[in-house]
Structure 1
């Protein structure tokens, strides 16, 4: 029996999900299907990590109600499959999104963690 915790990583957009393209010196979206390959330290955690991304990652200054509903639906749809959820979000509006979702997802028995960064993954 596998008692390893399962975590769903939800990438919405923001600098945290970017990598530097050295030829152009620009940031480009990171492929979260390869998150453990890019961040090998995640493999050291005693949990299974799966990821899902918005089809088109967005600048968090463009985050609105429709995006909040998308995040809430992702969590509600897979609620029984995972032990916790981590939402990777741009820092501009993360406080608004986390506040909205705290009302949209009331009385959860599992953690929903929001995080972002001023620096890209790679």
Structure 2
């Protein structure tokens, strides 16, 4: 099994439940971890035998451009697109952190984590 990860991908997006959040936007950090069994001999040095982390980044970029009320929805969309692009993937973990969420006090970030397979799918 091979793990591929992107850590600390930073985006400015307009996700948020409240209209002000969708208007003003916020900074987000996205981490992705993907585990898979290579599709061929990894010694062939062929990108088709692995998960392309550049493609993972593009998927995240595209999803972060579409404002949504819930970052859970964004995380699930990212997970679904990875599953569709790479059906041989065994595990996916997507973490989205919303930096400085608009709360009554100072909070570094709020976050969600999407795991595939979920406990219900095991």
The TM-score, its normalising length taken from structure 2, stands at 0.32
Instruction: Report 1 or 2 for greater relative contact order, CA contacts < 8 Å, sequence distance ≥ 6.
Output: 1
Structure with the largest fraction of strand = 2
Which of 1 and 2 has greater Rg? Answer: 2
